[in-house]
Structure 1
Amino acid sequence: MTRNSIAFWTGSTVFLVAVFVMTQVVGNQYPFFAGYVILQFIALAVAWSILGGYAGYVNFGTSAFFGVGVYAAVFLVKAFGAPLPLQILAGAAIGALMGFALGLLTLRMQGIFFSIATIALTIIIETTITNWRYVGGAAGIQIQRPAVTAPFDNYVQMLFFVQALLVVLAVAISRYIQNSWIGRGLQALRDDELAAECTGVPTLRLKLLACVISGALMCAVGAPAAMYLQYADPASAFNLNYSVTTLAMSLIGGTAHWSGPIIGAILLGTTQQLLTVTISSEVNVLVLGLMLVLFVVGAPEGIIGLIRKLRGDRKEGEV
């Protein structure tokens, strides 16, 4: 194991311990509600970046995968009373199958055509769920939380810790992909897909793999949301804001490195939560648009790219 790997896993362990301690000592429930949302978007942004960042295929279907994760959990709870771990695993499995199907159908498309296809996927799935009465249809459905298990005092604290586990899992997978032959192959096809194919890179296989992994993680992240809200309806679960916000967080942080989406999600997610409490949730859309325009124009490679540029300029100045 390399020094960087040891540092990463040590940091992840410290993070999880800190989250767990927080659930035991903090009495106010709001930090857990707000923290859950921020952690949720960190995991979504990291998962999105596997396909949208490493491979360069801009995916507007985040809300489709997230919503399917929500309704997979709803179905399992209503039909079988399934526990949360099973809901998450089932969501991940369904998301992987969705990603594989999406890859087979659309990954020969490129650029805007692929992005439009992912938007169409969201509309199709949302329409299907809207007309599925067993899971509530257009009116939505109430979800009853089961009794919480020790050592947590309430279900929101447990969901907060579970979402932290999903963040560590998503980041670990993203980091591994970036540092492996998979990441190098995805970067090659992002830079020039035709040239990558000519040099023997299995571009279609890599795109399918990225789509499967990204889809599985996004669905897994969506599964706990049903219990978090205790309610699910198609308009909320498949809200296009999930797609736009996740994309913005990844671009603001930078997609060239696994840490970029984390930085962008923390920055934008925390800002949105503060604005929701102090001003209004409607201001979030304005702030999201302004920050996205600012970074696209001023720092197209995101915060990570800006840091690298500043470091490079500093080294040149020292020379």
Structure 2
Amino acid sequence: MLNASRALKAGAILLLAAGILAFPSLAPNPYILSVGVLVLNYAALSTSWNFVGGFTGYISLGHGALAGLGAYGTGLLVAKGGLPPFLALFAGATLVAALAVPIGFAALRVRGASFVIVSISLVLILLLIFQSWASVTGGSRGLVVPRPFDLSRPEHHRVFYYLFAGLLALALLVWWLIDRSRFGLGLKSIREDEDKAEALGTATYAYKLIVFVVSAFFTALTGGLYALWFGDLDPVFQFSILTGSYLVLMALLGGVRQLFGPVVGAIIVGTALEYFKGAYGDTPLHLVATGLLLALVVLFMPDGVLPAVADLFKRFDRTQSSSIREVTASELRDERLKKAEGAAR
């Protein structure tokens, strides 16, 4: 049964990877392809969030701010600093990771609801700064980022689709390596009981700070890649509380303790968001529809989609293993004789 379970997981991963890689060829028009790019953007962001949320259990609504910093860092280095786009991308992500050290140093001193409030404050503060500092950021007029490729719109989407897919694969690989490391074990001990982990000698504060910086780097890298793809940045959108909320909901929906949980959540929520936006336009009804969808899943799958599916297969395996095998009368007699001989000895 164990080998069958592993084979099933491997098959599901290969099927997911094949579906992601084949999507650009199957997309009927550039708009659908752009939706695919957005979904992969969400998947990479949610996976980046899951470095903190999945390992430590800290719920951060401020990761949208880190993505916005990555986007503006990349955009400003290209538009005003004159750096090559992809050099600017990694330079911007590195700067955000360095900035995440003092941010994490202050924010990670609190837990629970206090940490959530601090993360929301970060978003609001950066929104005010980037809106007010119009001479540098463009303010409410926005910032135009030169695109790195001189391509037609469909080809532009196709190239960035695969760039986002590569970034997602890298984030998943790093998450998987941490999950199987001694460092990951320390992070999970924080998630289960931080006080006990600290009493047993785990350097909880250092562990949290390190994983927060790793998470910030990947979040900023994804935000910067979005800036190069979309080409137009607006502070209200980049530093939105909704962005951080979406990332949390995607990870929770798929399963925060699962490697592919945020990816599955992003596919469901990201697709639903774009569908409801198309159906209801710019009205808030798309948020209502998405909220109802998430409420239904949370009610029936509180631990996420992937854990619910895994539990379903476990129940099926248990049923198979405990089923009564039909035997003949002679087999029953032989079994009783063996038990009697064993008792006599």
Aligned residue for 1:54, secondary structure, equals: helix
Q: How does 1:102-251 map to 2 (within 5 A)?
A: 102-132=103-133, 133-148=135-150, 154-251=155-252
- Are the equivalent residues in 2 in contact too, given 1:275–1:284 (CA < 8 A)? yes
Does 2:65 align with 1:64? Answer: yes
How has the CA–CA distance of structure 1 residues 12 and 294 changed in structure 2, closer, same or farther, with 3 Å as cutoff? closer
Moved more, 92-101 or 106-115: 92-101
TM-score of the aligned structures, taking structure 1 as reference length: 0.88
How has the CA–CA distance of structure 1 residues 17 and 237 changed in structure 2, closer, same or farther, with 3 Å as cutoff? closer
Q: Tell me how far apart the structure 1 counterparts of residues 170 and 71 of structure 2 sit (CA, whole Å).
A: 19
> Match of 1:18?
21
Q: Tell me how far apart the structure 1 counterparts of residues 60 and 16 of structure 2 sit (CA, whole Å).
A: 31
> Match of 1:290?
292
Q: Tell me how far apart the structure 2 counterparts of residues 90 and 16 of structure 1 sit (CA, whole Å).
A: 32
- Cα deviations across residues 279-303 of structure 1 (Å, max 9, x unaligned)? 4354331133223323333322111
- Are the equivalent residues in 2 in contact too, given 1:12–1:168 (CA < 8 A)? no
Q: Tell me how far apart the structure 2 counterparts of residues 131 and 53 of structure 1 sit (CA, whole Å).
A: 35
> Match of 2:267?
266
How has the CA–CA distance of structure 1 residues 112 and 85 changed in structure 2, closer, same or farther, with 3 Å as cutoff? same
Deviation at 1:12, TM superposition (A): 10
Deviation at 1:26, TM superposition (A): 6.5
Letter in 1 for 2:259: W
Aligned residue for 2:168, secondary structure, equals: helix
Q: How does 1:18-57 map to 2 (within 5 A)?
A: 18=21, 22=24, 28-57=29-58
How has the CA–CA distance of structure 1 residues 147 and 192 changed in structure 2, closer, same or farther, with 3 Å as cutoff? closer
Larger radius of gyration: 2
Letter in 2 for 1:137: G
How has the CA–CA distance of structure 1 residues 127 and 46 changed in structure 2, closer, same or farther, with 3 Å as cutoff? same
Q: Tell me how far apart the structure 1 counterparts of residues 219 and 263 of structure 2 sit (CA, whole Å).
A: 15
Aligned residue for 2:55, secondary structure, equals: coil
Q: Tell me how far apart the structure 1 counterparts of residues 28 and 190 of structure 2 sit (CA, whole Å).
A: 49
Q: Tell me how far apart the structure 1 counterparts of residues 296 and 92 of structure 2 sit (CA, whole Å).
A: 35
Q: Tell me how far apart the structure 2 counterparts of residues 257 and 153 of structure 1 sit (CA, whole Å).
A: 33
Q: Tell me how far apart the structure 2 counterparts of residues 26 and 307 of structure 1 sit (CA, whole Å).
A: 28
- Are the equivalent residues in 2 in contact too, given 1:92–1:217 (CA < 8 A)? yes
- Are the equivalent residues in 1 in contact too, given 2:30–2:154 (CA < 8 A)? no
Q: Tell me how far apart the structure 2 counterparts of residues 83 and 44 of structure 1 sit (CA, whole Å).
A: 23
Q: Tell me how far apart the structure 1 counterparts of residues 244 and 71 of structure 2 sit (CA, whole Å).
A: 15
> Match of 2:311?
309
Q: Tell me how far apart the structure 2 counterparts of residues 180 and 195 of structure 1 sit (CA, whole Å).
A: 20
- Are the equivalent residues in 1 in contact too, given 2:77–2:92 (CA < 8 A)? no
- Cα deviations across residues 183-226 of structure 1 (Å, max 9, x unaligned)? 22111111100111122222112101110111111111011222
Aligned residue for 2:316, secondary structure, equals: helix
- Cα deviations across residues 251-281 of structure 1 (Å, max 9, x unaligned)? 1101111111111111111222223334435
- Are the equivalent residues in 1 in contact too, given 2:61–2:120 (CA < 8 A)? yes
Moved more, 175-184 or 277-286: 277-286
Aligned residue for 1:60, secondary structure, equals: coil
Deviation at 1:92, TM superposition (A): 1.9
Aligned residue for 1:294, secondary structure, equals: helix
Does 2:111 align with 1:96? Answer: no
Q: Tell me how far apart the structure 1 counterparts of residues 179 and 267 of structure 2 sit (CA, whole Å).
A: 21
> Match of 1:86?
87
Letter in 2 for 1:238: F
> Match of 1:276?
277
- Are the equivalent residues in 1 in contact too, given 2:61–2:119 (CA < 8 A)? yes
How has the CA–CA distance of structure 1 residues 287 and 91 changed in structure 2, closer, same or farther, with 3 Å as cutoff? farther
- Are the equivalent residues in 1 in contact too, given 2:255–2:307 (CA < 8 A)? yes
- Are the equivalent residues in 1 in contact too, given 2:272–2:290 (CA < 8 A)? no
Q: How does 1:246-257 map to 2 (within 5 A)?
A: 246-257=247-258
Aligned residue for 2:80, secondary structure, equals: helix
Q: Tell me how far apart the structure 2 counterparts of residues 128 and 272 of structure 1 sit (CA, whole Å).
A: 28
How has the CA–CA distance of structure 1 residues 16 and 298 changed in structure 2, closer, same or farther, with 3 Å as cutoff? closer
What RMSD, in angstroms, separates the aligned Cα atoms of the two structures? 2.8
Structure 1 residues without counterparts, runs of 5 or longer: none
